[in-house]
Amino acid sequence: MSSAALANKVIVIVGGTGGLGLSAARACVAAGARLVVVGRETESATTAVAELGGAAHVVAVVGDAADPQTASRAIAEAVAHFGGCDGLYHVAGGSARRQGDGPLHELTDEGWRAVIDLNLTPLVYSNRAAVRHFLQQGRGGAILNLGSVLGWSPSPRFFATHGYAAAKSAVLGFTQAIAAHYAPQGIRANVLAPALVETPMSRRAAGDEQIRQFIATKQPLDGGRIGQPADCDAAVVYFLSDESRFVTGQVLAVDGGWTVSEGQYPNE
C-alpha cells in the first residue's frame, strides 16, 4: 500500500480525538489525508488538532455523536475547509457496564438504552449523514465502522456484556445492508472489528490480572498481549483509500487471534 494512500482524500473521524480514533487520525494524516475529527470535549479536540499538524490539515468539531446534527456539521466543515468529504470512520462508542449492561438476566433497562445510545444510534446518524453527502456529491465514498469481535465471538466469563454484544452485532448487519444497497452508487461500507485493545474503555480488563492471563492465550499473536490502537491503523487507511475500491460489506477482525483461539482460563 502506498505511503500516500490517502493523498487528496478528506476524511471525517467521529470519535477522532482519543484512543483508537486519534491513532487512526495520525495514520491518515501520515498517508496524506486532510481530516475533520469529532470529539465531545474542547480540550481534547484542540490538543488533537495541534498534534496532527494544525488547522491546515485538521479541523475539529466538538459535539456529541448521539446528536443527529453532529456528523452533518462535521461533513459541512469538511466541505467548507477542504472542498468535500471522501470517507467516514465511525469510532465513537463505549461500555455501558456502569449504567447496567451485563449478562442478560442482570441487564437493566437503563443499561440497554445506554448501550444502544452509545454504540448504535450515533453510528446510524453518522452513516446516514455520510451517505446523504456521498449521494449528493455524486462520486461515491467510503464508510468504515468500528465493530467488535464480541459481535459474533463471545467470551462468557470475562466479557459478558450482552447489550454491547447486541449493539456490535447490529453494526455488522447494518453495515452490510447499506453496503449492498449503495454499491451501485460507488459507496462502500466495511467494518473493523478489534478484540481487546488498550484504550480508556478497556482499563477494567487491562487492570485485571486474570483477564490478562486469559488474553495471553485468547490473543496469542505477538507474545499474547492486549492490542494497541496502532495495530488497527493500517487497516483503517486501507479501507478508506482507493486500495480497497473493490471491497465492500466486509468485516475484518484485527484481534491477535481471538476469533480462532480457545483461550485458557487461569488456574484451570
Provide the mean pLDDT of the chain.
95
Helix (H, G, I), strand (E, B) or coil at 266: coil
**What's the rounded mean pLDDT across residues 216-241?**
97
- On whether residue 215 sits in a domain, the answer given is no
Q: Identify the DSSP state of 256.
A: T
In a domain, 29, yes or no: yes
Task: Report the domain count for the chain.
Answer: 1
Look-up: residue for cell 459535539? 63
Exactly one of 89, 164, 182, 238 is catalytic; which is it? Answer: 164
Please check whether residue 103 lies inside any domain of the structure.
yes
Quote the distance between the C-alpha of residue 204 and its chain's center: 20
Q: DSSP characters for 76-106?
A: HHHHHHHS---EEEE------GGGT-SSGGG
Distance between start and end Cα atoms, the chain: 43
Q: Mean pLDDT throughout 18-32?
A: 97
Which residues span the domain enclosing 37? 10-201+230-254
Q: Whose grid coordinates read 501520515?
A: 30
Cα separation, 116 vs 125, whole angstroms: 12
Residue 262, CA distances (Å) to 67, 140, 156, 257 in order: 39, 40, 12, 9
Cβ neighbors of 76 (< 8 A, separation 6 or more) are none
**Identity of the residue numbered 225:** R
In-domain check, residue 268:
no
Predicted TM-score (pTM) of the model is 0.96
Residue 177 lies in a domain: yes
| Cα gap 236→241, rounded to integer Å | 9
Taken in order 224, 225, 230, 232, the sign of the CA dihedral is positive
Cα-Cα-Cα-Cα dihedral of 192, 14, 34, 137, to 10°?
90
Res. 1: pLDDT tops 70: no
Are 131 and 178 in contact by the 8 Å Cβ rule? The answer is yes
Write out the three cell numbers for 24: 487512526
Residue 225 lies in a domain: no
Three-state SS annotation for 139-204: CCEEEEEECCHHHCCCCCCCCCCHHHHHHHHHHHHHHHHHHHHHHHHCEEEEEEEECCECCHHHHH
Residue 3 covered by a domain: no
Confidence of residue 206 (pLDDT cuts 50, 70, 90): confident
Element (H, E) at 19: helix 19-30
pLDDT tens-place string over residues 43-61: 999 999 999 988 889 999 9
CATH code, 158: 3.40.50.720
Q: 196 lies in a domain?
A: yes
At 108, list the grid cell. Answer: 437493566
The predicted-structure confidence for 89-129, as pLDDT tens digits, reads as follows 999 999 999 999 999 999 999 999 999 999 999 999 999 99
Task: Indicate if 164 belongs to the active site.
Answer: yes
